[in-house]
Amino acid sequence: MTWRIAAASVTGTSHIKSGLPCQDSTRVKLVSTPQGPVLISAVSDGAGSATHSEIGSRAATTTAVHLVENYLEAGATVLSIEHETALSWLAQVQSVITNLAVEAGTSAREFACTLMVAVIGLDASAFLQVGDGAMVVREEGDDGWSYVFWPQHGEYINTTNFVTSSDASKMMEFARPARRIESFSCFSDGIENLVLHYATKTVHDPFFNAMIEPVRASTASGLDAVLSESLVRYLSAERVCDRTDDDKSLVLATRSPFPPSSIADASS
pLDDT band at 256 (very low <50, low <70, confident <90, very high): confident
User: Which range, of 128-132, 200-204, 264-268, averages the lowest pLDDT?
Assistant: 264-268
Question: Residues 44, 57: contact at Cβ < 8 Å?
Answer: yes
Tell me the pTM.
0.94
The CA-based diameter of the chain, rounded to the nearest angstrom, is 60
CA atoms within 13 A on the CB side of 203: 24
Distance CA 212, CA 47 (A): 29
Distance CA 60, CA 117 (A): 10
Give the CATH number for residue 194.
Answer: 3.60.40.10
How high is the pLDDT of residue 156?
62
User: Which range, of 134-143, 210-219, 255-264, averages the lowest pLDDT?
Assistant: 255-264
Domain count, the chain: 1
Q: Which domain holds residue 259?
A: 4-267
pLDDT in tens, 98-156: 999 999 999 999 999 999 999 999 999 999 999 999 999 999 878 899 999 999 986 66
How high is the pLDDT of residue 264?
42
